[in-house]
Amino acid sequence: MMVASGKLKGINVTVGAQNFSFIGGSFGSASGEAFIYGVQHAIDNHTPFIFFCCSGGIRMMESALALQQMSRVIIAINELRKNKLPYIVILTNPSYGGVTASMGMLGDIQIAEPKSQIGFAGKRVIEQTIGETLPEEFQKAEYIKDHGGVDLVVPRKDLRDTIGTLITILLKKNK
């Protein structure tokens, strides 16, 4: 997990991003601390928090310590809301497991990149559990948008302008 601050369309922002190249972007206790640090930085500096989700899920080799991060990050997100600061999530490919079940789907706005795989459990696991075949496009960003799970599907090249516009609107609304 990486946390940074900067400007987007002249607006100060705090940004968090997961790195799928490191253990599949899995989320553990150190990642939880980084996320919470990012949220606290956003609160202290009165900036929106933008989070780029890219994960296979919670780091299960850390057991309960990793699972505890789910509730801790939800509490942090609620602090953003108490401070009337926007929280925007960008779901990249893949965004799965407890990461999606917690901070990945709690944004004021959820944006997915085209064709991103998004879900809690994999399609095969769900099919075996319910005993039915799911549609081919199940868990793809466009399917999830069509079924109300994300607000927008935006290509990466258009994210800067889209997020900048959304932040401008949300900051005016929250005043």
What does the DSSP assignment read for 99-146?
HHHTGGG-SSEEEE-TT-BB-SS-HHHHHHHHTSPPPTTTTBHHHHHH
Give the pLDDT score at 174.
Answer: 67
Mean pLDDT rounded to a whole number for the chain: 91
Q: What pLDDT digit, counting tens, does each position of 76-113 carry?
A: 999 999 999 999 999 999 998 878 888 999 999 999 99
Query: To which residue do tokens 């899920």 refer?
Result: 57
Mean per-residue pLDDT for 9-14?
96
Whether the per-residue pLDDT at 38 is higher than 80: the answer is yes
Give the pLDDT score at 30.
Answer: 80
d(CA 20, CA 124): 21
